[in-house]
Amino acid sequence: MQFAIFWISVDLLVLKKLTLHQQKSVFEDFIDQMTFQLLKLIHLISERVYYSEDIINVPVDMVEGKCEVRKKIDISNSDLPVMIEHVFFCEHFYDRATGALKQLPSNVKLMSVARKATGALKKNKGKQICEDNEVDSGKWMEVPKESRIATLDIFAGCGGLSEGLQQAGVSFTKWAIEYEEPAGEAFRQNHPEAAVFVDNCNVILKAIMDKCGDSDDCVSTSEAAEQAAKLAEENIKNLPVPGEVEFINGGPPCQGFSGMNRFNQSPWSKVQCEMILAFLSFAEYFRPRFFLLENVRNFVSFNKGQTFRLAVASLLEMGYQVRFGILEAGTFGVAQSRKRAFIWAAAPGEILPDWPEPMHVFASPELKITLPDGKYYAAAKSTAGGAPFRAITVRDTIGDLPKVENGASKLILEYGGEPTSWFQKKIRGSTIALNDHISKEMNELNLIRCKHIPKRPGCDWHDLPDEKVKLSSGQMVDLIPWCLPNTAKRHNQWKGLYGRLDWEGNFPTSVTDPQPMGKVGMCFHPDQDRIITVRECARSQGFPDSYQFSGTIQSKHRQIGNAVPPPLAFALGRKLKEAVDAKRQQA
C-alpha cells in the first residue's frame, strides 16, 4: 500500500497516546477533579501531526484505522458524532533536510468542517457526507416538516424510537399511542407537536374506523367499542385517517418474549404477545409507505418462532417488501449491551431500507436468525474484532456526573464540572442544569451489603464476607443472602447480583426496575454506594440530558428500560432517509 503523504510524527503520536492512557489508569480516582481545559490541551498535543513530502510504502497490517486531518480550529469547534481519536490537526511542514518546522506550503489544502459541507453540495457529489454533517451538527431540527414523512408511533413509550428517527431528519411523529399515563405524559413533554392518545391501541383503531365509516369492517370486543365511543371529541378530531400516515413504527410490549421476564407464561404476558396482532392491524388498515417493528431478541424464537413468522407472513401477504434482523445497540454508540429484533417493511414501489453499518467495537457475537435447512441470516457483522470507532464506556457515559447518595431525591442539580468525553458533551447539548439524577433508596441491609462490595471491576455478591451484621433494630443477619449460595449451581452462580459497574466496561441491558437482586443485578455505581440513578440509566440508553421523564422514580426507570436507544433509532432512521431520498431522486 502506498501513501502519497506521510505523517512523520506517527511514532511520536502513538507514544504520547500510550502515555495519556497510562496517566488515565493511574489517576482515574481523581480524574473528575482535572479541569476540562487541561484535558483539552493534552488532547490537542496528542493529535498534532506534521506534513512531509516523503512517500513511503507500508504493509497493510500497519494501518490501524481511518485518519482525518483538519485545521486546528476545527478540532475544538467540531461536534462530531463519534469519538474523535481518529481526527488530527496539522499546522506545520517538516523539512527532513534541515530538521526545521516551516509553514505549510500553499498547495496543501486541509479540509475544514465548513468547506466539507459546502463542497459536498456541488453537483450533488459527496451527498452523504453533507447530510451526515447537517444532521449531526443539530441542524436536523431545521429540516421542514413537509420534507419528513408523517409518522404514527404505536406503543410509543416515552419516545425513544421517535426521538432517534426524528434526529435522523426523516420522520415527524404527528400521532402517538401509549397505554401507560406516565409514559404518555413523557412523550407529550418531549414531542409537544404530536397528538398523543393514552389508551389501548385497539380502542384507538376502533375509534379511527368508526370515524372513517368502516365500523362494519371492524372486529372488536364490546369493551373496546364502549371505550371508543367515550373518546373526547377533541381526540376524535385529531385521530389520523388512511392516506395521512406514511410511516408506522413501534415496539409492541415485549414482556411475553423477554428473557428478563421471569413470568413470561403468565396470562398478562400472553395478552401482551397478542399486541403484535393489533400492531399488524394498523399496518393492514393504513397501508403506510414504511413500517418498522421493534422487539426483544427472543421475539424471533418465542413460541418456536411462530409469532415472528406470523408477523413476517402477514406483511408479505399485504404486499410489503420485508427485511428482518437483530442489531446490537452497543455497536451504534451507547455503552450498553442491548440486542433488539427489527422488521422493516416497505410498500410496493418504495425502496426497502437497508441495515445500518455497526460503527463501534463491541464484544458481542454475530447475531444470527436461524433459517430452514440449517442456514442462518445476520443483519450485521460482529464488531468484536474491530470497527471504525472504539466502544463507549461507562466512564465516557457518566464520569462527569456529580456524586449523590443512596436515595438521592433532588430533581435538579448543577453539573459541577465540564464534560470530559465527546459523549458527555453531546449528551449535555445546551442543557445547563442536571435533572433526574435521583437514586432508588435501598433498605438498611442492602445498603450495608453495597458498602461491603469492593470497588473493583467485576465484584458482586461473591465478594461479600461470610459474616453477620447488626442492624439498627439490633437484629443480626447474614451479609450474604442465604438463597444465593444455596441455589447458585442452578442459576449460573447468580452472576452479577449485587454487582458493581466497571468504569472501562459497559452497562448491562437496561431494565425497568434496577435492583441488586433483580434479573440484572449489576446496578451499583462503580465507586459510590448506591443504585445507578435515573439520569445514568437514561444516558446508558443514549437519551440527551434535556429529555424528560414523568411520574415516580419507578415510573421513570420503567420508561427508560422499555425504550429503544435513540442512537440505534437514529442509525435506522438514516437508512430510511437514504431510501426516501433515493425514491425522490428517481421521481
Residues 536/514, Cβ–Cβ less than 8 Å: no
Residues 117/134, Cβ–Cβ less than 8 Å: yes
For residue 405, CA distances in Å to 418, 433, 437, 439 come to 21, 19, 10, 8
**Which of helix, strand or coil describes residue 434?**
strand
CA–CA–CA angle 110, 111, 112 (5° rounding): 115
Per DSSP, the residues of 375-423 read: -EEESS---TT--SBPPP-HHHHHTTSPP--TT---SEE---S---SHH
For β-strands 376-378 and 368-370, DSSP reports them as antiparallel
Residues 68/116, Cβ–Cβ less than 8 Å: no
Residues 6+ apart with CB under 8 A from 430: 546
Q: Return the C-alpha cell found at 311.
A: 408477523
Within a 13 Å sphere around the CA of 95, how many CA atoms are in the beta-carbon half? Answer: 9
Residue with cell 493511574: 26
Radius of gyration of the chain (CA): 26
DSSP secondary structure letter of residue 550 = -
Residue of 130, 218, 254, 459 with catalytic role: 254
C-alpha torsion sign, points 239, 186, 526, 569? positive
Termini Cα distance of the chain: 42
Active site residue 218: no
Residues belonging to the chain: 587
Rama region for 2: left / alpha / beta (φ>0; ψ in -120 to 50; rest):
beta
What are the start-end ranges of the H helices in 413-515? 422-428, 444-452, 483-487
CA 77 to chain centre: 25
Among candidate residues 74, 75, 81, the one with its CA nearest the CA of residue 359: 81
**Residue 54 burial (CB count, 10 A):** 13
**Interatomic CA distance for residues 143 and 414, integer angstroms:** 32
Active site residues: 254
